[in-house]
Structure 1
Amino acid sequence: MDLKIFFSPLDADIFSHIKHSNSFYKSIKVNTEAMPDYEGADIAIIGIEEERGTVSNKGTGKGAMEIRKKLYQLKKGYGSYKIIDLGTLRNGIDLDETYGRLSEVCHILIENNVLPVVIGGSHDLSYGQYTAYENMDKLITLLNVDAYLDMEEGVSQPAHEQHIHKILLHEPNFLFNYSHLAYQSYLIDQTAINILEKLYFEAYRIGHLRSNMQDMEPIIRNADMLSFDITSIKSSDAPGNAKSQPFGLTGEEACQICWYAGLNEKLSSAGFYEYNPQHDDENKKTASVVATMIWYFIEGFYHRKNEQNFKNNDYLKFVVSMPSEPETLSFYKSKLSEKWWMEVPFPRGKEKYARNCIIPCSYSDYQKATNGDLPDRYITTHAKLI
């Protein structure tokens, strides 16, 4: 399909000052005079100017271009880049039409093994990113990084404060798991956390994440989709947001999450939302932080090791006897990366769960099993499978 009808090209003069042959800009194909062909690409950058979904953070529509200016000046990283920039997605007549356009574009790219990276706009656009998976005949896991839960209800609430609630209620339901990282307890309603727990979904506050970053890696490695709200980064590192907070992720922690996400072979789309240049400092510090996050995400992508075939000789299998049901637990350890996975058998007749039955875990999960205790990851995953 010709994606040209959805996009406006970028002004080449914006990047004309970038001369270094090893710059990021010189290593990719950008929609300036002609739309680059997405077939054969690895990653496609999509700029968004839609901001009708926010009330408190107007100005996010200008974020994509500022991020590009910082990103494209960086040096090319590892690997042979096959990256394109499709330009700016044209807004629809209303929000729902913009969601639909983003959904259709992302769906086409994902179906062609191209990973869309969405930049700019308000966080409610992640709904369009999510619905791209609707007709793919698979259940997916959504990873959301945000200081807020965005589970408000009611027509009076702005879209960017209720898009997660909208995703949870979306029909048909193809959401297998939802993982939320870096929420700040004093900004959210505890009843929303209770709802997530009843659905066997995961939510980790900023303090837990910071003290257990290595344990967050298996959660990030299990995601099909990443949605990153810049509000989750503390204001001293990323002031470019009307709701930025004095506490939150550091820029380094945000980059580490993006590195893990890039390495994740399951992950097939990423979005970076809520950057507002109007609230940034004169040097556009926040744009630099987001650009570096995207750079690390791409760096992780080009370091992927194709670790998905658990039957080959690149894995060690450990079978642990348990004192009660289940009688045994099976673990897999990669000889290449030393990462761990755990098998959670799915019920007969529910083959749609097959791709979710071997889940990322940590060495501590294996240790817990050897001590006769079921890992929490097993319990929550099993509850969703039955």
Structure 2
Amino acid sequence: MDLKLFFNPIDESLSDKSFKADSLIQSVYLNEEKLPDILNIDIAIIGIKENNGYSTITDTGVRFIRKKLYSLKRSNSSTEIVDLGNLRSGPSREETYKRLKAVCQYLMHKQILPIIIGGSHDIDLGQFLAYEEDDKLISICNVDSHFDMDNQTELPSENHIHTMINHNPNFLFNYSHLGYQSYFVSPTISKIFKQLNFSTYRIGEMREDFKKVEPVIRESDMLSFDISAIQKAYTPAGNKSDVFGLTGEEACQIMWYAGLNDKLSSVGIYEYNPEKDTNDHQSAQVIAVMIWYFIEGFNNRKGEKGFQTNDYMKYVVTMDNEPDAITFYKSRLSDKWWMEVPNLNNKSIYERNTIVPCDHNDYNLALNGEIPDRWIKVFSKHS
């Protein structure tokens, strides 16, 4: 694939000569006059110019985010980052999805993680479709104050999750939703998600113990983040920002967990509207710091794979009824937990979903004779 056919270079004002010597931009390969070689690259940043479900011609929003991001300090990590520039929009919305799909698919097959910034939330359909031909089932984590399941609207950013869940062929194993607010959500949709054994978490639930969202994020292949899930005080430029929502710190914590996830292979941050931002571009600053935390998490990935190695301790908990026992694994590297769920289908597409992330509380529940809810949801999808 010739990537330069898909991208416009970044704005000239973002030259590395405009930033301090210890800023992040000094360690990023930029698509300026010539697209950099992506050999040995770990992360690729992709700017999107589409907004509000319709095409626009300005790249103002992503330029503000880049300026804030690249002024942050770089770390001493060996992570190689390239900024590919802004994706050239297609003549139609669907064509833009296809272009993003092709680019993300190409990058992920080369073990390069795309970070998509800008555009309305339905752009994540292109991100999602990049997994379509991988012959595996994937899990998605979506952060949003709304469910975006309104199939009566013509606005793509308000029905993209409905499109995703109903896509044919179906390669979606699990969908998790973080940060929704009940007064924005239809009880009917909540019931549908429950019937599908999808996991949804209100902000109040998350705040009872924020660490419990870490296994949810660790299960995911793809993260889609609508910044409207963050309080308006932090991100006034979210297209649907509200007084209530996540704090900026909580948004960064989610991105840190996502960065640490060895399984996660793409990230999108959407719904930034520069026309709603403050004069000093406060929302762009929050997004920039979120990306910075993701990169720091990525820098600290442990490569936790292969549960039969000495890197893991194995615990088998005997149960009184079905199942006879539940097997848990604890990493010696990070102290994180996983549990094994039987695959009654014996289909290869389920193999990567038979050992699922959990936490110490799930292990304690099993010790007390209770089957963890997480185990039940996964088992129901296998059986």
Q: Identify unmatched segments of 5+ residues in structure 2.
A: none
Match of 1:132 in 2: 130
Shift of 1:13: 2.7
Q: Normalization by structure 1: what TM-score?
A: 0.97
- Where in structure 2 are the equivalents of 1:143-222 lying within 5 Å? 143-154=141-152, 156-222=153-219
- CA deviation map 1:353-383 (0-9, x unaligned): 0100000000000000000010000000000
Instruction: Work out whether 1:118 is the aligned partner of 2:112.
Output: no
Q: Name whichever of 73-82 and 102-111 sits farther off.
A: 73-82
Match of 2:105 in 1: 107
Provide the C-alpha distance between the structure 2 equivalents of 1:131 and 1:348, rounded to a whole number of angstroms: 25
- CA deviation map 1:333-359 (0-9, x unaligned): 011110000000112531210100000
Match of 1:22 in 2: 22
Aligned-CA RMSD value: 1.5
Shift of 1:54: 5.4
Provide the C-alpha distance between the structure 2 equivalents of 1:336 and 1:222, rounded to a whole number of angstroms: 18
One-letter code aligned to 1:203: T
State the aligned residue count: 383
Shift of 1:297: 0.3
Match of 2:233 in 1: 236
Shift of 1:36: 1.3
Contact map agreement 1:59 1:277 (CA 8 A) in 2: no
Q: Identify unmatched segments of 5+ residues in structure 1.
A: none
Q: Normalization by structure 2: what TM-score?
A: 0.97
Match of 2:306 in 1: 309
Provide the C-alpha distance between the structure 2 equivalents of 1:314 and 1:16, rounded to a whole number of angstroms: 41
Contact map agreement 1:261 1:297 (CA 8 A) in 2: yes
Provide the C-alpha distance between the structure 2 equivalents of 1:245 and 1:19, rounded to a whole number of angstroms: 34
- Where in structure 2 are the equivalents of 1:40-119 lying within 5 Å? 40-51=40-51, 53=53, 62-119=60-117
- CA deviation map 1:6-56 (0-9, x unaligned): 00011333335534222111111010011012232000000000126159x
Provide the C-alpha distance between the structure 2 equivalents of 1:311 and 1:59, rounded to a whole number of angstroms: 52
Match of 1:366 in 2: 363
Provide the C-alpha distance between the structure 1 equivalents of 2:2 and 2:205, rounded to a whole number of angstroms: 45
Contact map agreement 2:148 2:161 (CA 8 A) in 1: yes
1:319–1:60 CA distance, 2 compared to 1 (3 A): farther
Shift of 1:210: 1.5
Q: Percent identity?
A: 51
Provide the C-alpha distance between the structure 1 equivalents of 2:82 and 2:268, rounded to a whole number of angstroms: 16
1:33–1:231 CA distance, 2 compared to 1 (3 A): same
One-letter code aligned to 1:79: S
Contact map agreement 1:61 1:121 (CA 8 A) in 2: no
- SS in structure 2 opposite 1:299? helix
- SS in structure 1 opposite 2:296? helix
Q: Name whichever of 297-306 and 5-14 sits farther off.
A: 5-14
Contact map agreement 1:51 1:60 (CA 8 A) in 2: no
Match of 1:383 in 2: 380
